[in-house]
Amino acid sequence: MLEKQQHAPMFRSRNQNNQLVSLTDYADEKIIVLYFYPKDDTPGCTIEANDFTSLAEEFAKLDTVIIGVSKDSCASHTDFINKFGLKVELLADTSGELCQNYGVWREREKNGVKSMAILRSTFIIDKSGVLNDVMYGVTPEGHAQEVLQKVNDLVNPPPIEAEPVTIEEE
């Protein structure tokens, strides 16, 4: 599993438009919210993508790009985006390399059957390519709002409250 303050693993994958996208495309320019989800056009994944889309302008104001990743094809991503009017970029990790590098390809058990699947997870990568936040096993509802708050705190850190200083007179 990845941890905060590590350098984000390099990624290079095709997006919904079949264009190569990599971590270095955004170096020193944008904060990246890289979120992994199991499958296009499924209930939880749709909630998450729609929530990120509804907050897209707020993320843009914070110099942040939202990139979703699943093992679906570029064509599947295009259909998903068009069906819901999504305003996020989606990467097609058909080889599973990104999922492996980010530690989200996991065994799960559902109805007594074990299989491999993407663990819904989100990574906030700062402009220098360092993991500012690592969230494994997230819940779709309310997640985009939580991520927006974390990005806002990264861009506009809350003031540190100083301890009161007592000056003793001699």
Which domains are present in the chain? Answer: 12-155 (3.40.30.10)
Active site (catalytic) residues:
45
- Whether 129 and 29 have beta carbons less than 8 Å apart is answered as no
Span 120-131, mean pLDDT? 96
- Rounded Cα–Cα distance for residues 151 and 31 (Å): 8
pTM of the full structure = 0.90
Q: How many CB atoms lie within 10 A of CB 157?
A: 8
Residues 134-160: tens digit of each pLDDT: 999 999 999 999 999 999 999 988 777
Q: What is the pLDDT of residues 60-96, one digit of tens each?
A: 999 999 999 999 999 999 999 999 999 999 999 999 9
**pLDDT of res. 170:** 63
C-alpha distance from residue 32 to each of 18, 121, 149 (Å): 20, 14, 14
Q: Stretch 47-51: mean pLDDT, rounded?
A: 96
